[in-house]
Structure 1
Amino acid sequence: LVGMTVNAPVWRRPRRDVTTDVSIAERWRVRPALRPGSATWRYLRDERGLSELVLRAAIRQDLLREGPKGSMWAAYTGDDGALVGWEERGSRWRGFSTGGTKVLFRFGSADAPRICVTEAAIDAMSLADLEGARPDSLYVATGGGWSPATEVALLRLASRPETLLVAATDADAQGEIYAERIRKMAEETGCRRLRLSPMRRDWNLMLQEKKGREEPREERTERALPPDRRPPRG
């Protein structure tokens, strides 16, 4: 037609919906629990150096699931104990559950007065391993970040009577930032505090060194990258 321009139709990629129809709880339920001898068990015991004592304790607390390709899923829960998400770790993968919320990974006695705050679930379990899983301690992890929900959960723990808040974050610049936040939180709530820093960058590397194992492949790969290209911890 005169005066009209006909354009070829333009294909547009459909919008990707990252949500899922399956609930967090259901996705967790259908994954197998950690089993001795499985690929995930071997990753945690042989590559990460976690003892069978700690792994079996985590199984009893229903904290771990077997993810794809031998990876680990570590449960993050709210104050009521309800599952809100999970941290994902494997030889070639790290992440957090789609649609999940980073509150706290909690290993140990829920009412323990000594709260050890680490950055990743494997570090929380590694510190527990190094300390012999002290019965007076709750080993928690923030998922490599510091969300508002995480801060609220830590404040509630710090506000309990007789609490000792232990900043057991990584021995690097980011770990010191988190340790300073924990120091201020202890001052705000009036609880006792302690800075407990690993001799290596994190508690799992320290556990690896103690057991004479090589540094995990994912850690060696990350360390070789420039700082601005490294993935977030946890």
Structure 2
Amino acid sequence: MRARTNCAALLERSTPPWRLDRRESTKHCLKYRRGRGEILIVNHEGRGWWDPQSDAKGDVFDLVQHLEPRLNFGEVRKLLRRFTGIQPSFPAAAIESGRSPDLPLPIRWARRPRLRRGSPVWRYLTYARRLPPSVLESARAADVVREGPYGSVWFAHHDGRRNVTHIEIRGPDFKGSVRGGDKILFRLPGGSGPPTRFALAEAPIDALSLAALENIRADTLYAATGGGMGPKTISEIEAIVARLAPIPGSRFCSAADADPAGDRYAARHREIAAAAGVAFERLRPPVEDSDWNDMLDRGERTKP
């Protein structure tokens, strides 16, 4: 029944019905509105949903109990039988065809609000991801994190001239990126002066987590590749490391994940450091198959 009942179809046939916001919906995230301020997002091809204004989320059974808390499980099953096999009114293709042409990434970035204390995005980063306010304030000041739609977080990649070239998206139940652009590097300066230490992680949240664990070292540029390293990312890494080369005591620290893929990235980082004549250090998370956000989370959970 879970696999054959679409959350969007249920919302459209509720009383009063929910209406699809086609302008703010995508193929994979359908935004439904009802009344004054009620919003629900349907994802996972109709099998999941979440509320961007609270922590509520789940499958179609959870959706019915979210809308009708008085119903028990048997009553929920009885209600859902009426919706099994029914599809929503708007096919995904119609949503995609109705989209306006994408604006340039720098304009889309500039139109999103800056990170605000107490917002759903702030709560996600502090409670779910355990990032401390000091790191979030630094990220806001550097303008590398903004608030996306549906309670998501936008992380900007920049080129060497500070142009936004790519935007990664993370949220309580979503992982993706804004269409268009090129991955180069997400970066958070630890201080105002030229860095003497370059710490490179895979994901922006891991770079921010390492900064938190190190109390944001002023000598460090914290950065992330966003996963794999394309030619433009490698070129930018090489340019940063080349600037470190003349500085006594400079260091390239690979903070890639503690898994086989992370070790392969670290080996490539070591090669880049060696070619530039810069000291290299492997900052490997101490628990196998983990990343630096996992380590931050473990540390927070073990505090008295």
TM-score by length of 2: 0.63
Query: Partner of 1:81 in structure 2?
Result: 162
State the distance in 1 between where 2:214 and 2:104 align: 36
Aligned to 2:233: 150
Equivalent of 1:125 in 204, 208, 231: 208
Aligned to 2:301: 212
Residue 111 of structure 1: CA displacement? 2.2
Q: Which residue of 1 aligns with 2:119?
A: 38
Structure 1 letter corresponding to 2:275: E
- Residue 69 of structure 1 deviates from its aligned partner by 1.8
Shift of 1:102: 0.6
**Identity over aligned residues, as a percent?**
40
Distance, in Å, in 1 between the alignment partners of 2:218 and 2:239 is: 20
Structure 1 residues 64-213: aligned runs within 5 Å: 64-108=145-189, 109=191, 111-160=194-243, 161-162=246-247, 163-200=250-287, 201-212=290-301
Query: Can you give the 5+ residue segments of structure 1 that lack an aligned partner in the other structure?
Result: 1-12, 214-234
- Name the SS for the 1:124 alignment partner: helix
Query: Quick one: distance in 2 between partners of 1:113 and 1:71?
Result: 33
CA drift of 1:136 comes to: 0.5
Shift in alpha-carbon separation, 1:152–1:20, aligned structure 2, 3 A: farther
Residues in 2 aligned to 1:175 and 1:138: alpha-carbon distance in whole angstroms = 19
- The CA distance in 2 between the partners of 1:156 and 1:189, in whole Å, is 10
1:19 and 1:98 in contact (8 A); partners too: no
**Secondary structure of 2:107's aligned partner:** helix
Structure 1: which amino acid aligns with 2:276?
A: T
Write out per-residue CA displacement over residues 175-203 of structure 1, whole angstroms, 9 at most, x where no aligned residue: 00100000111111111111110123100
Residue 51 of structure 1 corresponds to which residue in structure 2? 132
Tell me the alpha carbon deviations over residues 78-134 of structure 1, each in whole angstroms, 9 at most, x when there is no partner: 011111111111111111221021100011147201000100000000000000000
Q: CA offset at residue 20 of structure 1?
A: 3.6
Q: Which amino acid aligns with 2:298?
A: E
Deviates more, 1:104-113 or 1:32-41: 104-113
Distance 1:67 1:21 in 2: 15
Moved over 3 A (4+): 16-21
For structure 2, the 5+ residue unaligned runs are: 1-92
Paired residues, number = 200
**SS in structure 2 opposite 1:132?**
coil
Shift of 1:19: 9.3
Greater RCO (CA < 8 Å, at least 6 residues apart): 1
Look up the SS of the partner of 1:159 in the other structure: helix
Letter in 2 for 1:199: P
Distance 2:238 2:163 in 1: 18
